[in-house]
Amino acid sequence: MQNNYEKEQPILPSLCDYNAELSLSNTAKLFMDMAMYHAEMLGIGFTGFKERGLFWVAVKTKIKVFRKAKMATMVKISTWPEEAGTVRCNRDYEISDEEGVMAIGKTEWGVIDANTHLPQKTKDVYPADLVVLEKKCYPEPFAKLTGNFEGELIGTYTVRSVDTDYGRHMNNTAYISAIEGLFDSEELSKKAFSELEIHYKSPCFEGETISFYGIENDGYLEIKAVNKEDKIIVLARLK
C-alpha cells in the first residue's frame, strides 16, 4: 500500500499569476488535486466515498512558500496522510525541484455523510494495511483563529457557479482565490504573501455575498469573511 504519492509536473500557464509564477490559490489547487490522486489509489477518494455515501471536506489549510515556482519549470509534488484522529485527519504536501523544497502545506480534513452532511468518524477511514509516514511538514499545530475583531472592510464577493463544487458549496480553494482578488497586482506585489492559513467555519452557496474584513496583527494580515447575517464563513491570516 503506497503511503505517499509523488508526481512531476510542469508549472502550466493556467496555474500562474501576473508574474508568471505559481500563486497561493493555485498552490492550494495543486495540493487538492494531488490529494485526490492519492486518495483514489487508497480507495478513499471521490469514487470510493461516493459508493459509501461519504464526502471529504477541508476544515483548515496552511501553506508556506519558500521559493515561487516559475512558469514552464518542472517541479515534483508530493503528498501523504498523517495518522488519522477520531474526527479529523491531516494530509501534508510538498513542492520541490532540484534545488530543494519550494513550498509546504497541510490540510485538516473531515468526513461528512453526503446526504445528511453530518460529520463522520475518521479514525478507521484509511485502509487497514496502510503504514502512515511519520514525516510532517508542519510539526506545530494549526493556529487558533477567533475572528474577534471588527477590522476594516477590504471587499465583498458574490459566490458564482464556478466557485462551487460537488457539495454545492463554495470550494475551499475558491476562498483563497477570492482573498487574493481583494488586492490589485500592485498591492499583491508589495505585500508578497508567502504564508497562508485558512479555517473554513461555515459553508457558503451560489448567489451568496460575503464581506471580507481585515486587521494587521503581530506581523500577519488577519481576515474574516462573513455573510449577510454576520456569520463567520472563513478565517484566514497571511504574511
Question: Using one digit for the tens of pLDDT, what is the confidence trace for 205-215?
Answer: 999 999 999 99
Give the pLDDT confidence score for residue 138 in this predicted structure: 87
What domains appear along the chain, each with residue ranges and CATH number?
5-120 (3.10.129.10), 152-238 (3.10.129.10)
Would you state the pLDDT for residue 1? 78
pLDDT, one tens digit per residue, over 33-56 is 999 999 999 999 999 999 999 999
Task: Outline where DSSP puts E strands in 50-136.
Answer: 54-65, 74-81, 89-97, 100-113, 119-120
177 to 19, 26, 29, 172, 216: CA distances (angstroms): 16, 8, 10, 9, 20
Lookup result for grid cell 478507521? 124
pTM comes to: 0.95
Using one digit for the tens of pLDDT, what is the confidence trace for 186-229? 999 999 999 999 999 999 999 999 999 999 999 999 999 999 99
Closest to 80 (Cα-Cα) out of 142, 37, 143, 112: 37
Say what the pLDDT of residue 124 is. 87
Low-confidence ranges of the chain (pLDDT < 70): none
Mean pLDDT of the chain: 96
